[in-house]
Structure 1
Amino acid sequence: MKKPVQLILLLITCFRLTAQMAVTMPGDFEKSEGLILNWNNQEEINLATVQMITSVQQQAVPIWILYQRDPVPMDTTEISLFLISQGATMENIHFLPAHYQGSWIRNFGPMMGYGVFNQNLERFIYDAGYTYNYPPEDDSIPAQLAHYWHWPLAEIPLELDGGNLLNDGLKRGFSTKRVLEMNPLLSEIDIKNMLKEKYNLNDWVFLETLEHSGGGDGNRLDGFMLVLDFETILISEYPDTLPDYEAIESNILTLQSLTNAFGRPYNIFRVPAPPIADGTFTTTQQGEMRTYTNALIINNQVVVPSYGLPWYDSVARTVFKEAMPGYQISMVDASALTPQYGAIRSLSEVIPPSHYLRIEHKKITGPQPYQPNVQVTCISKAGELVEDMWLYYRVNSDTNYTKTPIYLVCPEHFGVIEGLAEDDTVHYYLEANSTSATTTYPLSAPDGNFTFWFDVVSEIDLPEKFNTSFVFPNPGNGIIRFQLSDKMNLAEMRLYTLNGQLLFETSVTNNQPVNIKRFVSPGVYLVRLNTKYEEEVIKLIIY
């Protein structure tokens, strides 16, 4: 019999939180109201644009298509006929005349967020400089859109490229060091402080630029990295024979040294970068940079580049499905895009919802120490009244979710999953409802959820513990190495299935290769590292 929630809850005031912030710049993974694309004079790029449109039209979100109005105005009737001929519909399609020359609206387009203007929280557009080797018409796009939509326009007095800007939505932003080259009159600390201030973040990290992996002079971060949620980052994996291998692995070490807004290391997934058409990899800056990280996340869907390479495309799909459970993974051929130094994310920009509503939650996933009642905590933020929040969960093979309230107390809201047994596996997600908006976390719910369980591996005391050792490559093909924590020069390694079955054990040292191919097939496993003083559990993906 489930225990009732303690009566003390009746004595707690239920706070309805409204946003109290100067600026919020959503991450790629947060809820979107619409999509912006720009039409091009090159048919091969427009074909990819149409594929993107057809893949996201099922969401019924508005899609704004910018078209050039000079020097020779584009014909919207002609564009419409082309869209229809390629399988798109004209439902929710809006045309917007604009002055521009470039192909990649993500790079020169608007940076959209929420800010307080005239004492109201509303959407606004940041306008940064985009004149560093780029056409002046492209630099004016943020101002053109702000004027067209009647949104507030604010300035960032820096030269910036949207493909080189990522953030985790809560604590930290990321760019390559190219942003320093684009602003030579300012010091690194000045640029860092300005980005932190404008994005309202605690930190900004400048990662090593990849100068021998293609992509042209842009050296953009989204060519090898994508932030998937508040706690998760996806990074390209290159063969160790390539000149930029050391640079990208240095970036991995930098990211592994950081903690996210919840005080834990980022969960880092790797995806093998694909070769170019002749089977080789680019080794110069001006070569073609094929990538899977230059992807579009829009609500519960991820649009991923593909290249007609069955093994690489399949692995990329597998990695995204593992890193983002329940999301619909669509793939669009980007073979014509990457030779021109862009891909799917470059072609698009998402529009945030008119009503700000967010759930901030420290995920409970993987093996956990047994508790019959598990408390799930979160914070809601909104621009208006948060009316209620709900915790949905199901246990083991249940197909229906149980709905239980989340109590809107401060400093953290919480709900309780009660009456669990030691052998239970739990799937859950969160929902928030404000006066005008609804959202879930993850956005892929109910198909996607967060999963945790109790088993033999979880006998380790994990409540406030996080790993300082790492296994790489992860995902991998069965030959793995370990970067051990400072306290682990030598460790006992045990490989388990998710159900706790021991498959293999051995001793490992730092950077020692371990071949586990004969013990595994494609799937997810747990690696347990032990010394006399320390124990850690790491999730390993085999493709």
Structure 2
Amino acid sequence: MTDYKESKNTLPAEWALQSGVQLTWPHAHTDWNYMLAEVCSCFTAIAREIAEREILLIVTPEPDEVRKQISATVNMANVRFLECQTNDTWARDHGAITLLDEGTPSLLDFTFNGWGLKFASDKDNLITRQAIEAGVMHGRYVNRLGFVLEGGSIESDGQGTLLTTSQCLLSPNRNGQMDRDEIEAYLCSEFRLQRVLWLDHGYLAGDDTDSHVDTLARFCSPNTIAYVQCTDTQDEHYGALRRMEEQLKTFRTADGAPYRLLPLPMADRIEEDGERLPATYANFLIMNSAVLYPTYCQQENDARAKEVLQEAFPNHEIIGIDCRALIRQHGSLHCVTMQYPTGVLG
């Protein structure tokens, strides 16, 4: 864990001390049905790395089946199960968002509406309450179902600054009754923020989330942001990502200094049925002692992304997971995980 001073009343940064990570497992009644064995192999690889280091909470309607899949290679002493029905696997967006009150966790349950009413989410919206009622998650349950918010749409530095994208949070199918100032005031009140940094540019082709920030730019410390850089002028993303890069250069830390900006490579084009898939190296998971990052069988890009992340996290082990399966359903590694601070999982 990197040692940064955080407020006792805060939306913790991802690098804050964690108790564990949630995975919501694929099954035959999810959109993964046509490639279930392939995606379960990817989930097992993620589960193996998490359970070697922290508690792993697996949410699934089929715990016995998942045990059969993973018990030979995963440290089962660190695995906990919640048996419940699920629509899909995107724990980042249906998982609880944890706020620390004098170090005590409050588990905020926002509405997940399938990224602006694109997909069914009725079962996923019940997971957090069920996890707390079953005793697999510990903390004060806070009902915030009157507001639509996905974990992948926000980044906290743990010191009162939130990074987000205007395209996502201002989507009319999320909280369309509120304008930008109202949404910012709401976030600052709920998360005890000092300020919100809005990215107005940047997108990924094939992305269903309306430009979640965790596909584009990520806090690595209170003064460091890693972001996707596109240098190919012929790439369809070049203009938007260049404008995003220029905007990031204008951002300042709470102390008034420019951010240390670390460019991640743009993944080479990956297609399925003629559609470009949203492969991104920004979709990494920060853990206590390791960073898990997605790879795409692109030797040069995968290696460069690892170098950048090692620079950002010099005291962490940087571990690549082949996530070509995940992007076939338009997400990646960070999208299928949700970390919880100390005290939540045990």
TM bracket (short chain)? 0.7 to 0.9
Contact 2:10 2:191 in 1 (8 A): yes
Q: TM-score, normalised by structure 2?
A: 0.86
Normalized per residue, the structure richer in helix is: 2
Q: Residue type matched to 1:94 in 2?
A: R
Match of 1:152 in 2: 140
The structure in which a higher percent of residues are strand is 1
Alpha-carbon RMSD: 2.4
Q: Deviations over 1:422-458 (max 9, x none)?
A: xxxxxxxxxxxxxxxxxxxxxxxxxxxxxxxxxxxxx
Shifted more, 330-339 versus 257-266: the winner is 257-266
User: How many residues get paired?
Assistant: 321
The yes-or-no answer on 1:325 pairing with 2:314 is: yes
Choose which of 221, 227, 230 in structure 2 pairs with 1:235: 227
> Does the CA contact (< 8 Å) of 2:292 and 2:318 recur in 1?
yes
Is 2:34 the counterpart of 1:79?
A: no
Measure, in 2, the Cα distance between the counterparts of 1:349 and 1:322: 23
Find the counterpart in structure 2 of residue 276 from structure 1. 269
Q: Which one of 229, 247, 260 corresponds to residue 254 of structure 1?
A: 247
Question: Which residue in the other structure is 1:219 paired with?
Answer: 211
Indicate the SS of the match to 2:276: coil
Alignment of 1:37 onto 2:23: yes
Unpaired segments ≥5 residues, structure 1: 1-18, 69-73, 356-543
Instruction: Detail structure 1 runs of 4+ shifted over 3 Å in the superposition.
Output: 209-212
Aligned residue identity for 1:80: R
Query: SS of the residue aligned with 1:126?
Result: strand
> How many Å separate the matches in 1 of 2:247 and 2:128?
32
Q: Deviation of residue 38 (structure 1)? A: 1.2
Match of 1:341 among 315, 327, 330: 330
Q: Which has the higher contact order (CA 8 A, sep 6+)?
A: 2
Tell me how far 1:351 sits from its aligned partner.
Answer: 1.5
- 2:265 & 2:7 partners in 1: Cα distance? 41
Distance 1:266 1:36, change over 3 A: same
User: Does the 8 Å contact 1:296/1:344 carry over to 2?
Assistant: yes
Distance 1:20 1:92 in 2: 29
Q: Percent identity among equivalent residues?
A: 21
Shift in Å, 1:126: 0.8
1:115-134 superposed matches below 5 A? 115=101, 121-131=103-113, 132-133=116-117, 134=120
Deviations for 1:258-317, whole angstroms, at most 9, x for unmatched residues? 221333211110011111346x9x9x9x73110111011101200010111111111111
Q: Which letter maps to 1:183?
A: N
Alpha-carbon spacing, 1:150–1:92, altered in 2? closer, same or farther (3 Å): closer
TM-score (normalizing by structure 1): 0.56
Instruction: Decide whether aligned partners of structure 1 residues 189 and 58 sit closer, same or farther in structure 2, where only a CA change above 3 A counts.
Output: same
Structure 2 vs 1, CA of residues 77 and 127 (structure 1 numbering), >3 Å: closer, same or farther?
Answer: closer
Q: Which amino acid aligns with 2:139?
A: W
Structure 2 distance, partners of 1:150, 1:331, is: 30
Once the two structures are TM-superposed, the CA of residue 150 in structure 1 deviates from its matched residue by: 4.9
Instruction: Please state whether the residue corresponding to 1:289 is helix, strand or coil.
Output: coil
Q: Does 1:164 align with 2:153?
A: yes
The alpha-carbon deviation at position 341 of structure 1 amounts to: 1.3
Determine which of 54, 60, 76 is the counterpart of 1:67: 60
Q: Tell me the equivalent position of 1:207.
A: 199
**Counterparts of residues 290-329 of structure 1 (less than 5 Å):** 290-329=279-318
SS of the equivalent of 1:136 reads coil
1:302/1:108 CA distance change after superposition, 3 Å: same
Kindly indicate whether the alpha-carbon contact (under 8 Å) linking 2:164 and 2:197 is maintained by their aligned counterparts in 1: yes
Given that 1:208 and 1:247 are in contact with CA atoms closer than 8 Å, whether structure 2 keeps it comes out as no
Amino acid aligned to 2:67: S
Paired letter, 2:256: G
Tell which structure's C-alpha radius of gyration is larger.
1
